[in-house]
């Protein structure tokens, strides 16, 4: 394989689109491709092209074509999963072959099944439980909600296999986790913080891990988990299979992938840092103080049947949820300050449809996997552009359509420009400032305010001058205070005493011992 060809073409921003993906996958050495935006064909080595699938692979009509075993296929059929998504079609064969994998795909494209299905098959092919306080496969997740959902996916897909799966995260009691790990577990899904706590206490060892999965790697780095990740990787054995998944691929993520992966297969189903095409996106310019009123007005539309609202801070999430509740809208907030039971209760209510509006922070964005989210509202634009991709990825999942609405005030214009640069497209905009402030008097521009205030200043100065003249004329002449002379006037320092000379107090002179000259006070006679 000529690696120079691969690096040369993978560095191009314009992806090459195969018009015959079946031939490329079956190993044809040379194939005609068309560059995006042009109709000029070129002949390049097939292995050197990055496949950007615009439709499902024609020769992969079912999961049976991927080489999965019958117990897993029966479960997929029962769950109404018939056709693999592009990320699943490209990832599952590489993972079954034991190769390291670098997967780049947006949220909602089926990444969990892309690594869960082949991991279950590989572990089932080698029967035998893990030793005590050990695991055979380790999956790192950034949030508790996502760890819980990954665990549920493993248990659903592998319910006909004799494999155990345990989730380890904070916010809940550690005793059940310690007991499960003490017996030995096949698949361990964990958040970095709680996993390191168990490792430091000797509750789990990672020297028997055969498959290591790092999911949502870009979110891990955004949350500051780079040091915990390195500590976990240092405890793993060298002979392992590593799967690395991320929705975006900045330089820091590429550097980390280069450290963890060994000659990986790269799978990218869409250009990096791009949004899901099924999401309709628009931006509404609005004053910061009118965002809540605008949000309540939008939610009056019954089409927003299940809406997810994002804020930047936990306090802001509680404030928005409380304001919507006062307007008669059923809304709940979810963020890191709530306990795990509270977060799970709110999330279950949102999934069941009992809660119409869920207000969340970016930390919870990765763990909200609800297929029927109709709208995503960015109440506050994220200060990290990559977070925008993850936020709107909560809608348009499982092939559905969705809409993303973003509020932007004057202080967030720079955030909007950064988002448009990242996703490489201009978002449709709508000015709602006049409508939001219809009940207020229009404010004048700074130049108009200055012109309006100028006559008032002149009138006040003239009145003050006349008042002083009247007071001086009415005052008696004998009562006028004499102005001090220029030489005797006190010196103005304006608080700066560095140049002021202070006179030292004079010491009393000592009288010489001399005979009484008659000036000494007389002593009282006794």
Per-residue pLDDT, averaged over 424-445, amounts to 66
The residue assigned the tokens 């008669």 is: 328
d(CA 285, CA 433): 6
User: What integer pLDDT is reported at residue 372 of this predicted model?
Assistant: 78
Judged against a pLDDT cut of 60, whether residue 30 lies above it is answered with no
Distance between CA atoms of residues 384 and 219, nearest Å? 11
> Which ranges of 287-427 would DSSP assign to H, the alpha helix?
291-298, 314-326, 340-352, 385-392, 413-423
CA angle 272, 114, 346 (to 5 degrees): 85
Question: Which tokens hold the place of 525?
Answer: 């006679």
* Residues 280, 281, 283, 288, CA torsion sign: positive
Edge-to-edge strand ranges of the sheet holding 241-246:
165-168, 185-190, 135-140, 211-214, 241-246, 101-104, 265-268
Q: Name the CA dihedral angle for 32, 19, 80, 268, rounded to a multiple of 10 degrees.
A: 60
Q: Report how far Cα 105 is from the mean position of its chain's Cα atoms.
A: 16
User: Given a cut of 90, is residue 379 above it in pLDDT?
Assistant: yes
Q: Which of 82-91, 253-262, 509-518 is the least confident region?
A: 509-518
Cα dist from 414 to 282, 410, 419, whole Å: 16, 9, 9
Rounded CA gap, 149 and 189, in Å? 10
Region 167-175 average pLDDT: 90
C-alpha 16/C-alpha 59 separation (Å) is 20
Alpha-carbon distance 323 to 321, whole Å? 6
Q: At 400, list the tokens.
A: 């559905």
DSSP line for 403-447: EEEEEE-GGGHHHHHHHHHHHTSPPEEEE-HHHHTTTSPPPPPHH
The model's pLDDT over 469-513, given as tens digits with 9 standing for 90+, comes to: 665 655 555 554 555 555 555 555 555 555 555 555 556 656 555
Domains and CATH numbers, the chain: 1-52 (no CATH), 57-268 (3.40.50.300), 279-436 (3.40.50.300)
pLDDT surpasses 70 at 65: yes
Q: Which two tokens stand for residue 181?
A: 């790990």
Three-state DSSP class for 456? Answer: helix
Virtual torsion, Cα 123, 125, 127, 131, nearest 10 deg: -30
Residue 43 above 50 pLDDT?
no
Give the residue among 6, 339, 4, 353 at the shortest CA–CA distance from 173. 339
Asked whether residue 429 carries a pLDDT value surpassing 90, the answer given is: yes
Residue 20's nearest CA partner among 47, 58, 48, 49 is: 58
DSSP run (H or E) holding 457: helix 446-474
Please write the tens of the pLDDT for every residue from 405-419.
Answer: 999 999 999 999 999
Q: Is the pLDDT of residue 399 over 70?
A: no
> Mean pLDDT, to the nearest integer, of 357-384?
82
Relative orientation angle of helices 192-200 and 226-234, to the nearest 10 degrees: 40
Taking the C-alpha atoms of residue 526 and residue 509, their distance in angstroms, rounded to an integer, is 31
């Amino acid at each position: 394989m000529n690696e120079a060809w691969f690096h040369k073409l993978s560095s191009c921003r314009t992806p090459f689109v195969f018009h015959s993906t079946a031939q490329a996958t079956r190993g044809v050495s040379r194939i005609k491709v068309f560059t995006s935006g042009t109709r000029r064909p070129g002949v390049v080595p097939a292995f050197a092209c990055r496949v950007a699938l615009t439709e499902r692979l024609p020769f992969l009509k079912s999961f049976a074509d991927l080489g999965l075993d019958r117990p897993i296929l029966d479960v997929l059929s029962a769950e109404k999963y018939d056709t693999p998504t592009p990320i699943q079609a490209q990832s599952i064969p590489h993972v079954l072959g034991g190769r390291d994998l670098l997967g780049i795909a947006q949220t909602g494209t089926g990444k969990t099944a892309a690594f869960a299905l082949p991991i279950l098959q590989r572990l089932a092919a080698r029967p035998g439980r893990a030793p005590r306080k050990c695991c055979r496969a380790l999956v790192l997740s950034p949030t508790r909600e996502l760890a819980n959902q990954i665990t549920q996916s493993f248990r659903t897909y592998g319910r006909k296999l004799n494999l155990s799966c345990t989730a380890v995260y904070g916010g809940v009691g550690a005793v059940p986790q310690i007991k499960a790990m003490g017996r030995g577990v096949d698949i361990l899904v964990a958040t970095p913080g709680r996993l390191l706590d168990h490792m430091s206490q000797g509750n789990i060892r990672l020297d028997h891990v055969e498959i290591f999965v790092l999911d949502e790697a870009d979110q891990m780095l955004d949350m500051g988990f780079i040091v915990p990740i390195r500590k976990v990787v240092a405890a793993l054995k060298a002979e392992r299979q590593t799967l690395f998944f991320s929705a975006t691929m900045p330089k820091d993520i590429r550097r980390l992938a280069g450290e963890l992966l060994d000659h990986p297969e790269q799978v990218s189903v869409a250009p990096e840092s791009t949004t899901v095409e099924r999401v309709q996106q628009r931006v509404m310019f609005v004053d910061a103080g009118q965002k809540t009123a605008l949000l309540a007005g939008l939610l009056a539309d019954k089409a927003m049947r299940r809406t997810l609202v994002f804020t930047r801070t936990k306090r802001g999430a509680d404030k928005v949820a409380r304001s919507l509740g006062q307007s008669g809208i059923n809304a709940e907030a979810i963020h890191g300050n709530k306990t795990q039971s509270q977060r799970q209760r709110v999330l279950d209510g949102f999934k069941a449809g009992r809660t119409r509006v869920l207000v969340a922070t970016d930390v919870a964005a990765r763990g909200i996997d609800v297929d029927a989210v109709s709208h995503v509202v960015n109440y506050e634009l994220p200060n990290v552009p990559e977070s925008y991709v993850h936020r709107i990825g909560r809608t348009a999942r499982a092939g559905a359509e969705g809409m993303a609405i973003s509020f932007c005030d004057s202080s967030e214009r720079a955030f909007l420009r950064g988002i448009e640069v990242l996703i490489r497209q201009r978002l449709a905009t709508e000015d709602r400032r006049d409508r939001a402030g219809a009940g207020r008097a229009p404010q004048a521009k700074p130049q108009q305010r200055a012109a309006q205030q100028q006559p008032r200043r002149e009138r006040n100065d003239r009145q003050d001058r006349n008042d002083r003249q009247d007071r001086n004329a009415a005052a008696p002449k004998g009562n006028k205070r004499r102005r001090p002379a220029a030489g005797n006037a006190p010196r103005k320092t304006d608080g700066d005493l560095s140049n002021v000379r202070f006179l030292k107090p004079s010491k009393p002179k000592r009288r010489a011992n001399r005979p009484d000259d008659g000036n000494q006070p007389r002593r009282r006679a006794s």
